[in-house]
Each structure stands twice: as structure tokens, then as C-alpha cells.
């Protein structure tokens, strides 16, 4: 009995030590290593980190922003400070405060090694600060040189944050968007070739077929409303993009996979409601209403995808060309994948392609139409090019290649409204980047929105819509072209980049060739962060036939 009691005590003590280490000691250890390099940030609270301060700042700033934008205010594109006002405040507060550290250290005649570390850190001190969400420690990085070094890293030890597999697991699982190491390398090897340009060219006809129902629907609505229609376009664009990804990659129409897309959208919205709470220990296990809804949607999506997979396996595989689904099925039989995880490999990668392949493209198309509605001179230029190149027809591969103005418009739209607000990485081991010693477990948070609109990089018109800056390509658009990363950067650049660009050109050329449009009077410009940056209240356009 005494031995059993002693064993229980040892077990409880071990558990206490483990919990203490994970919840407090390890986060403090990471923070301490950064502080010794002159990197500071807001003081975190136990378990919640800086979440309460983030919520407080956000509520105040958002109320002020809504009063400006929804009551006849000017549509401003520098919205990063509205979505993430705490970053602006912390960057100013902790960057400036830390600069006084270095003269003090020099007067104290510290060792050369420590002084060298601090002067390295000083190089980044303005755009660098640390903060916490729950027990997660993050380093905010907006220095262009450090961003470049991070993007050039090919080591598998700098990967996607591990919290994405846990906190975002129902939406992404361990698919190509979130996995690391050899599993990610295997996934990219089998999926990336399906989106090479030679493959994408063969999908153009599918994209054109998918845009026809959308165009006919808008024509019918415009005619019924006397030649002028007030149409909410964002949901129609989602349906179009979902049909494209279904037919091009999974061998079925949108209507066949409609239930999957509807549930993925609901799952995205459910998970975005608690985006600030990422990192709070144990929160995802609590049977809250939102969590129960998330678990239910996850089960239903898994069931629907496996049903699609079963149907595919029962079909004849004697086809002249494999689609993405067939490639994923074959990749699941690799030695890299354990037999008991085959279904999870298939489901997670299908989720990733379904989500990334239609959600981000639809959002990008929505913002592009909004910008063209605001800038009729560029709408006119883009339409003139489409009519000249296509001659009143829907585009083919050769026509798409000739669309220079449309390409510039898309690139500028992706600069101002990139679907992903951040590029995130995690140090999977201790490493050094740009003279900074990055401890294992630290998350690196690169603000794409901020870098895309930095006047020092893009010029005084950085917050304005000016596609002309891309007239000579991305590398001549700004002083530091590596900060332009709407599709990510480095080894983890989006495999579907070519697919997305061609799809955007198809949908824009189809719409521009048929319609002219302006913003609906009821439009409220309020970008919202829901894992992607999208119009909070949708996008309504006043549409007329050309």
C-alpha cells in the first residue's frame, strides 16, 4: 500500500513539474533568451499571455474604424492598423524603449561577445518585438533583410508553426499547408507537379466552362432589373472557384462537392471566432458550443471526403491523365505514410486543396473587383485589353498569356489585399537568423499586409491602387521585391500559385468582357480577418452590360 501511495505521489509530482515547465518555465525561458538580445515586448499574463490586451485594443480601434468607413467615409486601403492595432502600438512602444539599452551596456563594459549580440539585435530593434498568445511566444518580424533571410532558409528545421496542426487541426490537419519535415517534403513532391504550368494550361477550358453559368446568371439578373443589377458577387465567386477546383483536381462538379465546401466555409468561420485565443492551454478540448460545432463539422467533412474517395476507388482507373485526387491516393501508399494514417493523409490533403484552392482565389477575385469598381479608369483599361485580346470571346491559353494590364491589376490587388495576412514559421530547433539567436519553439510572425504597404519600400503611394508599378514586372515594382509575397515565400511558397493566377485572369476577363460595374451605395468597407482577409459584409456591385 505504501509503495502504491509513493508511486501516486511521484506521478502527481512529475505531472506538476511537467505542467509547470510547459505553462510557465519554457515560455519564460524563450522570453529570457530574447530579452538578453535586446528584444522586448508587452508583459504577458499567466495562461493568456497578451490576449486580453489585444482584445481591449482591438475593440476600441474597431469601433472607431467602423464609424469612419460605414458612414460615407473614404475607402482606405491601409487597413492593417484597423485589423491588428496592437501590432502598431507595440512596435512603436517597445522598439523605441529598447534603444536606450545599448549605451548603458557599453558604459558597463560588458563582454565583447554580449555586446556583439546586442548590436546585432539593434539592427532589427525597430521592427522587432515579442508577444504571447496563451503560452505561445511569437517574434514579430517586419525587417526586410531578416524577412529575406527567413524566406531563403531551406532547412526543414524552420517550418510551419506546430499549433496549426493542433489548434487548426479540424480545418487543415497535417496536410501540405501545415506539415513539416519529411512528411511535408513527400506531400509537396506528389502535389506540386499537378500545379506546374504545363498542367495548369490544360485546365483553362475547365475554368472557362465554370465561368459561363456565373456570367449567364448575372446577365439574367441585370436584364430582369431593367439593365442595372445590384448583385452580391463574393458568394458567386466562391461558387465559381469551388466548381473549378472540384472539376480540375477532383473530377467532379461543385454541385457534387457542395456539401464539403459549405461545411469548410462554416468550419472556417467557427475557427476564426477564436483566432485570438490560439495558444491558451486546453481550450480546444472544452465542450463549448463553438468547439462542439467544430468537432461536428470536422466529422462530417471527413465522412464526405472519404465517400468521394470510395467512389473514385470503385471507378476504373484506366484514364489517360491523372487528376490531383488520384495522385493523392497513390501518394498515400508510400512508405512515408504509415498504414494506419492513410485515411488521415488523404482527408487532410483534400481539405487543404479544397480550402486553399477555392477560398483564397475567390477572396482575391472579390477584392480585385472592388478595386476596379473604385478605379473606373483602370477598369476601362483592363476591359479594353480583354476586348482586344479576346475579340468578344471567352479566353484561351494564348489569350491569357497576352493579358499584361489584367496581370498588373491582379498583382496590385494582391499587394493591397493579400488573402493571407501573415507568413508564419516556427524554429523546430535552436538556430541563428540575421544575427539573432532563435530558440526552439519560437514562432516567427511576418506581417505581409504591413510589408506590402510600407512607403519606404513601395514609395509615397504605397496605400494607393496603382497597377502601373508592376508594368515592368514584380522585380521592378519596388525597392525590395522579396517583400512581395501574396503566395508566401521560399520553399513553402504556395504550390497553386500558377493555378490561382490563371484562374483570376479567366474570371476577370470573363466579367470585364461582359459587364461594367461600380460599388453599391450600401457597400461598407470593413476588411475582416477570418483566416483570410475578406470583406466583412460581402461585396455588392452595381452591374451593367457592356
DSSP annotation string for 273-296: TTGGGTT-TTGGGS--HHHHHHHH
Evaluate whether 210 touches 323 at the Cβ level (below 8 Å). Answer: no
Q: Is residue 537 part of a domain?
A: no
Residues composing the chain: 546
pLDDT at residue 47, as a whole number = 86
In a domain, 394, yes or no: no
pLDDT tens for the chain, residues 1 to 546: 666 667 666 666 666 666 666 777 889 999 999 999 999 999 999 889 999 999 999 888 766 655 555 555 578 999 998 999 999 999 989 864 333 334 333 333 344 344 444 444 444 344 799 999 999 999 999 999 999 999 999 899 999 999 898 888 899 999 999 999 999 999 999 999 999 999 999 999 999 999 999 999 999 999 999 999 999 999 999 999 999 999 888 887 777 788 898 999 999 888 887 777 788 888 888 899 999 999 999 999 999 999 888 888 887 555 545 788 889 998 888 777 877 789 999 999 999 998 888 899 999 999 999 999 999 999 999 999 999 999 989 999 999 999 999 999 999 999 999 999 999 999 999 999 988 999 999 999 999 999 999 999 999 999 999 999 999 999 999 999 999 999 999 899 999 999 999 999 999 999 999 999 999 999 999 999 988 999 999 999 999 999
Q: Does residue 235 sit within a domain?
A: no
Beta bridge mates, 544: 228, 516
For residues 111 and 272, give the distance between their C-alpha atoms in angstroms, rounded to a whole number. Answer: 47
Contact 137, 445 (CB under 8 A): no
Find the CATH number of the domain harbouring 107: 3.30.43.20
* Residue 11 forms part of a structural domain: no
Instruction: Check: pTM over 0.75? Answer yes or no.
Output: yes
Please indicate, yes or no, if residue 302 is contained in any of the structural domains: no
Domain assignment present for 380: no
Give how far Cα 335 sits from Cα of 58, 175, 178, 313, 329, Å. 47, 17, 20, 20, 13
Q: Which domain holds residue 128?
A: 20-172+421-452
Q: For 99, which DSSP code?
A: T
Split into its structural domains, the chain has a count of: 1
Residue 435, phi-psi category: left (phi > 0), alpha (psi -120 to 50), beta (remainder): left
**Residue 83 belongs to a domain:** yes
C-alpha to C-alpha distances, 503 to 40, 236, 466, 537, nearest whole angstrom: 43, 15, 22, 24
User: For residue 145, is it within any domain?
Assistant: yes
Amino acid at each position: 500500500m505504501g509503495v502504491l501511495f509513493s508511486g501516486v505521489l511521484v506521478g502527481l509530482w512529475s505531472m506538476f513539474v511537467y505542467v509547470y515547465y510547459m505553462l510557465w518555465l519554457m515560455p519564460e525561458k524563450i522570453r529570457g533568451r530574447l530579452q538578453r538580445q535586446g528584444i522586448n515586448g508587452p508583459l504577458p499574463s499567466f495562461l493568456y499571455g497578451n490576449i486580453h490586451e489585444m482584445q481591449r485594443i482591438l475593440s476600441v480601434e474597431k469601433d472607431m474604424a467602423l464609424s469612419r468607413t460605414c458612414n460615407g467615409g473614404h475607402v482606405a486601403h491601409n487597413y492593417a492598423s484597423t485589423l491588428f492595432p496592437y501590432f502598431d502600438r507595440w512596435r512603436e512602444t517597445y522598439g523605441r524603449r529598447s534603444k536606450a539599452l545599448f549605451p548603458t551596456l557599453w558604459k558597463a563594459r560588458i563582454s565583447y561577445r554580449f555586446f556583439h549580440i546586442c548590436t546585432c539585435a539593434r539592427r532589427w530593434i525597430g521592427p522587432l518585438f515579442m508577444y504571447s498568445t496563451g503560452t505561445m511566444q511569437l517574434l514579430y518580424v517586419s525587417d526586410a533583410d531578416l524577412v529575406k533571410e527567413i524566406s531563403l532558409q531551406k532547412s526543414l528545421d524552420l517550418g510551419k508553426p506546430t499549433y496549426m496542426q493542433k489548434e487548426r487541426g479540424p480545418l487543415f490537419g497535417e496536410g501540405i499547408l501545415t506539415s513539416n519535415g519529411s512528411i511535408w517534403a513527400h506531400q509537396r513532391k506528389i502535389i506540386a507537379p499537378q500545379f506546374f504550368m504545363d498542367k495548369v494550361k490544360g485546365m483553362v477550358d475547365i475554368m472557362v466552362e465554370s465561368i459561363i453559368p456565373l456570367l449567364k446568371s448575372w446577365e439574367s439578373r441585370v436584364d430582369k432589373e431593367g439593365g442595372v443589377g445590384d448583385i452580391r458577387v463574393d458568394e458567386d465567386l466562391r461558387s465559381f472557384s469551388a466548381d473549378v477546383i472540384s472539376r480540375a483536381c477532383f473530377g467532379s462538379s461543385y454541385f457534387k462537392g457542395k456539401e464539403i465546401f459549405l461545411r469548410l466555409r462554416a468550419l472556417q468561420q467557427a475557427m476564426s471566432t477564436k483566432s485570438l485565443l490560439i495558444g491558451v492551454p486546453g481550450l480546444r478540448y472544452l465542450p463549448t458550443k463553438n468547439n462542439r460545432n467544430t468537432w461536428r463539422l470536422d466529422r462530417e467533412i471527413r465522412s464526405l471526403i472519404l465517400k468521394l474517395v470510395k467512389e473514385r476507388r470503385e471507378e476504373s482507373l484506366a484514364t489517360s491523365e491523372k487528376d490531383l485526387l488520384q495522385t493523392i491516393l497513390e501518394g498515400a501508399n508510400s512508405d512515408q505514410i504509415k498504414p494506419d494514417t492513410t485515411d488521415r493523409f488523404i482527408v487532410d490533403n483534400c481539405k487543404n486543396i479544397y480550402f486553399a484552392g477555392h477560398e483564397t482565389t475567390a477572396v482575391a477575385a472579390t477584392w480585385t473587383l472592388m478595386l476596379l469598381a473604385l478605379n473606373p479608369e483602370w477598369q476601362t483599361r483592363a476591359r479594353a485589353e480583354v476586348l482586344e485580346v479576346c475579340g468578344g470571346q471567352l479566353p484561351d491559353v494564348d489569350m491569357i498569356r497576352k493579358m499584361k494590364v489584367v496581370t498588373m491589376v491582379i498583382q496590385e490587388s494582391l499587394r493591397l489585399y493579400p488573402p493571407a495576412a501573415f507568413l508564419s514559421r516556427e524554429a523546430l530547433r535552436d538556430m541563428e537568423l540575421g544575427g539573432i539567436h532563435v530558440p526552439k519553439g519560437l514562432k516567427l510572425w511576418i506581417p505581409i499586409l504591413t510589408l506590402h504597404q510600407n512607403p519606404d519600400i513601395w514609395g509615397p503611394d504605397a496605400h494607393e491602387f496603382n497597377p502601373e508599378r508592376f508594368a515592368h514586372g514584380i522585380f521592378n515594382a519596388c525597392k525590395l521585391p522579396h517583400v512581395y509575397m501574396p503566395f508566401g515565400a521560399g520553399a513553402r511558397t504556395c504550390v497553386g500559385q500558377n493555378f490561382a493566377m490563371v484562374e483570376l485572369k479567366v474570371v476577370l476577363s470573363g466579367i470585364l468582357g461582359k459587364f461594367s460595374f461600380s460599388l453599391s451605395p450600401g457597400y461598407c468597407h470593413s476588411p475582416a480577418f477570418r483566416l483570410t482577409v475578406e470583406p466583412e459584409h460581402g461585396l455588392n456591385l452595381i452591374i451593367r452590360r457592356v
